Structure 1
Amino acid sequence: MKIVDIICSEGKTGFYFDDQKAIKQGAKNDGMFYLGEPVTEGFDSIRQPGESISVMIVLEDGQVALGDCAAVQYSGAGGRDPLFLAKDFIPIIEGEIKDRLVGKETKNFKELAEEIDGMKIDGKKLHTAIRYGLTQSILDASAKAQNITKAEVIKKEYKTDVDLKRIPIFTQSGDDRYLNADKMIIKQADVMPHGLFNNVEEKLGLKGEKLKGYVEWLTKRVLDHRADENYNPTFHIDVYGTIGELLDNDIEAMTKYLGELEEVAKPFTLRIEGPMDVGERTAQMEAMRDLRKSLEDNNISVELVADEWCNTLEDVKYFAENKAGHMIQIKSPDLGGINNSIEAILFCNQVGVASYLGGTCNETSVSSEICTNIAIACGAGQVLAKPGMGVDEGIMLVNNEMNRVLALANSRK
């Protein structure tokens, strides 16, 4: 099925763009606002509405395939591509990119996705958000051309050799980690709550006591309020390097503290994302690798999730092959084309490390549903409920798409 036209529309995302540099420099909250002036190029305010671009590929039989270009909350930070504003990038998609793609055959997703992901204009690769959204629409076009689900396209083309089945859904609370945890318990979220423990003094505690107290509260909350005694969620908490910051990245001290967290989390499995941030990729890999080994040597079952300094397909492979963590987060928008997210999950499977297909709260319903198809087709360890920070909406979108895909695929067996 050939492409006959590409049409774009501006969209909103499920969260915001935040100027991370300004926030790190001390910008204060006033409700949902940040006070002060932005410092990152492109920002008009420290927090501003997230934007997306819907890329609609018109096929020769009149069907329209859809993908959404979106960038992470901290767009333009940490070496990422510039702030993603729809007005700046729609002309590029409807101009030179459209000229190159009209007339292309869409049936072979992998081949065309790799071409788009490697495409250059004036010697530069396309913005990661454009590659992300365009390859989504190509996947949808391929599925429509073959009258199968997007998950089935991936399974067939990449020969993933996995059974299409439900995988765990991971929910994130944002700062509202108590009320949102209650929502997760009511909805029986598979993996919870993320927690956003990104400050030592205010959230972790100067002796680690605040995080420990929260885990203790969370354990009791689930045991007291679960509607089914067989509901046993995994606790997955992102600490943004604060444990290492508190304990000077001392492996022995971190091992001891994680062992204490394990005790208060029982009977539930505990995962800790980003336990340290040592400021450089190789050193981060080595620290994660050594902490994992230390935990295992001490019979501590806390699982580590790699996040910091693990942003690209190459990074994912580097951390996974060195067993730098028990699970690797794959930040789908940062990897550009979704073909890279697919390859990342499959590589993790190959080397025996669990994968977490994540992304950002600052995505859309379309990109979230497409990521769900990817996660199912590749057998990811878990997939993020996104977009937004409201819990209910993200669970609904990802759960319902998962069930639709499985029902359709099973009906053809």
Structure 2
Amino acid sequence: MKIDDVILAPGNGAFFYDDQAAIRQGARQEGFIYVGEPITPGFSSIRVPASSLSIGLVLSDGAVVWGDMMGVQYSGAGGRDPVFDPGTICDLTSRIVSPRLLDLDPTRYVEACTKVCQPFEGERLPLSIEYGVTQALLSAAAHLCRKTMAEIICSEFNLPLPRHIVPIYCQSGDARDLNVDKMILKGVNVLPHGLINSRQKFGINGGTFIDFVSWVAKRTRELGPPDYHPVLHFDVYGWIGQEIGLQPQRIADFICNVADTVPGFTLNIESPADFGSTQAQIENYAQIVSILDGRGSSARIVVDERCNTLEDIRLFAEAKATHLVQIKTPDVGSLTDTARAVLLCKSNNVGAYVGGSCTETDLSARASVHVSVATQADMMLAKPGMGVDEGFSIVGNEQNRLFAMLDHRRAHTNSLS
């Protein structure tokens, strides 16, 4: 079986691309928009609707399989690719990628991804292209081999078939209070993200943030059953460092104080500070992690900004500069690198969180589930979108369907033996 043709279709992401630099500098939120001029190159306004581009592979048996390309919400920030430009991505895909795909054997998945994602003119392809194309190739391999996408990953990376559910993490967006209630009622494993992306939400010396953390724990006890103990995970977008300074000791002290307000809960703090470069981030995060571990704190550091590609993830993991890595799938690029990143984290005893962005699509979310489950990541993001219901349904149902199929096959195999 080969790929006979390639087709492209414009699409929408499930949320918006936001200019993080402008928001950090105090852009005022008015309703759903941010008022002011954009700062990050490529943004026509501070908040723009997310776009995507679907790539379809026409297989020689007539089937068409798809993958979706897009950027992340805070494109162009923290060393990431610029904001997604559908015209540019469409042109590059048509001229460079499509010819590489024709007559390729998709059943040799990792080999096919390597061939298609080769650099062009000495530069790596935009990571959004890698991401979408490798989704489509994974779907093609699963179709042609009559297997699930997870089974293809297991086969290619010599992994046993998965047996354990991967915990799901939901994000609240700005509708924090309402969505926290939804998460608790649905029994979400990890919550609520919180979108602490401005001084207003963090508060003077972090007071507003601490109050929110305490409220989430209190609400969990009020609405959840007695045996419900979710991990509390908050993304602060560097605001601890922004507000109280970039000294690792002061940041660690603050995080310990927050953890002390919610005894009995594991506390994840994502992106506590932005030290300006990958190397500086590694050095300072390693100090924060060491201090927290030395105190026996229940708080864990999660790295996002400045840790984008597989090589970045390797550097953080080997330096023990985080407790948990967000493997942000559109920023990592090829899904083969997402799989490698999870395995790399595990080999270094660092947690692997297969994340992504609210700007993704249902298609990319479902593909991510299969990689997360196959590699047995520590948690995965409910995506796309900033609502709870849609992302939790898409990711949770895909995982449940996958395990139902794997259990059925195991039972059938046992009956034959």
TM-score between both structures, scaled by the size of structure 2: 0.93
Change (3 A) 1:53 1:240: same
Distance 1:7 1:276 in 2: 42
Q: What is residue 208 of structure 2 aligned with on the other side?
A: 210
Matches within 5 A, 1:121-270: 122-161=121-160, 163-200=162-199, 202-226=200-224, 228-270=225-267
Moved more, 257-266 or 186-195: 257-266
- RMSD across aligned positions (CA): 1.8
1:181-233 CA-partner distances (Å, limit 9, x unpaired): 11111111100011122234x2222232222211111111011111x321111
Please tell me whether the aligned partners of residues 237 and 272 of structure 2 are also in contact (alpha carbons under 8 angstroms).
Answer: yes
In the alignment, does 2:65 pair up with 1:65? yes
Distance 2:208 2:234 in 1: 13
Distance 1:40 1:31 in 2: 22
Q: Given residue 115 of structure 2, which amino acid in structure 1 is its aligned partner? A: E
In the alignment, does 2:390 pair up with 1:379? no
1:332-385 CA-partner distances (Å, limit 9, x unpaired): 101111111111111001111111111111000000110111100011111011
Please tell me whether the aligned partners of residues 67 and 364 of structure 2 are also in contact (alpha carbons under 8 angstroms).
Answer: yes
Equivalent residue in structure 2 for 1:273, among 267, 270, 274: 270
Distance 2:235 2:24 in 1: 18
Q: Given residue 90 of structure 1, which amino acid in structure 2 is its aligned partner? A: C
Please tell me whether the aligned partners of residues 108 and 142 of structure 1 are also in contact (alpha carbons under 8 angstroms).
Answer: yes
User: Structure 1 residue 100: deviation in Å?
Assistant: 2.3
Distance 2:135 2:33 in 1: 32
User: Structure 1 residue 28: deviation in Å?
Assistant: 2.6
Change (3 A) 1:199 1:92: closer
User: Structure 1 residue 393: deviation in Å?
Assistant: 0.6
Equivalent residue in structure 1 for 2:293, among 289, 296, 303: 296
Distance 2:271 2:25 in 1: 21
Specify the SS of the correspondent of 2:92.
helix
Distance 1:87 1:252 in 2: 46
User: Structure 1 residue 2: deviation in Å?
Assistant: 0.7
User: Structure 1 residue 24: deviation in Å?
Assistant: 4.1
Distance 2:303 2:10 in 1: 33
Please tell me whether the aligned partners of residues 3 and 60 of structure 1 are also in contact (alpha carbons under 8 angstroms).
Answer: yes
In structure 1, stretches of 5+ residues that fail to align are none
Specify the SS of the correspondent of 1:124.
coil
User: Structure 1 residue 92: deviation in Å?
Assistant: 3.3
Q: Given residue 398 of structure 2, which amino acid in structure 1 is its aligned partner? A: E
Distance 1:277 1:397 in 2: 32
Change (3 A) 1:232 1:38: same
Q: What is residue 413 of structure 2 aligned with on the other side?
A: none
Q: What is residue 84 of structure 2 aligned with on the other side?
A: 84
Change (3 A) 1:398 1:300: same
Moved more, 24-33 or 63-72: 24-33
Distance 1:250 1:128 in 2: 33
Q: Given residue 312 of structure 2, which amino acid in structure 1 is its aligned partner? A: D
Change (3 A) 1:88 1:375: same
Change (3 A) 1:79 1:306: closer
Distance 2:160 2:328 in 1: 23
Moved more, 334-343 or 149-158: 334-343
User: Structure 1 residue 39: deviation in Å?
Assistant: 4.5
Please tell me whether the aligned partners of residues 117 and 336 of structure 1 are also in contact (alpha carbons under 8 angstroms).
Answer: no
Change (3 A) 1:350 1:161: farther
Distance 1:209 1:24 in 2: 18
User: Structure 1 residue 143: deviation in Å?
Assistant: 0.5
Q: What is residue 398 of structure 2 aligned with on the other side?
A: 401
Moved more, 352-361 or 303-312: 303-312
Distance 1:39 1:298 in 2: 40
Q: Given residue 59 of structure 2, which amino acid in structure 1 is its aligned partner? A: L
User: Structure 1 residue 307: deviation in Å?
Assistant: 1.7
Change (3 A) 1:15 1:100: same
Please tell me whether the aligned partners of residues 18 and 74 of structure 2 are also in contact (alpha carbons under 8 angstroms).
Answer: yes
Moved more, 100-109 or 361-370: 100-109
Q: Given residue 301 of structure 2, which amino acid in structure 1 is its aligned partner? A: L
Equivalent residue in structure 2 for 1:333, among 326, 330, 335: 330
Distance 1:350 1:336 in 2: 21
Q: Given residue 99 of structure 2, which amino acid in structure 1 is its aligned partner? A: D
Q: Given residue 136 of structure 1, which amino acid in structure 2 is its aligned partner? A: Q
Distance 1:353 1:76 in 2: 27
TM-score between both structures, scaled by the size of structure 1: 0.94
In structure 2, stretches of 5+ residues that fail to align are 411-417
Distance 1:42 1:205 in 2: 30
Change (3 A) 1:96 1:250: closer
User: Structure 1 residue 281: deviation in Å?
Assistant: 1.7
Change (3 A) 1:49 1:397: same
In the alignment, does 2:345 pair up with 1:348? yes
Distance 1:34 1:141 in 2: 41
Change (3 A) 1:375 1:246: same
Q: Given residue 7 of structure 2, which amino acid in structure 1 is its aligned partner? A: I
Please tell me whether the aligned partners of residues 173 and 196 of structure 1 are also in contact (alpha carbons under 8 angstroms).
Answer: yes
Specify the SS of the correspondent of 2:302.
strand
User: Structure 1 residue 241: deviation in Å?
Assistant: 1.9
1:131-172 CA-partner distances (Å, limit 9, x unpaired): 110011000000101011000100111013462431110111
Distance 2:27 2:250 in 1: 32
1:83-141 CA-partner distances (Å, limit 9, x unpaired): 32323332432344222211111101111112222242x44332211111001100000
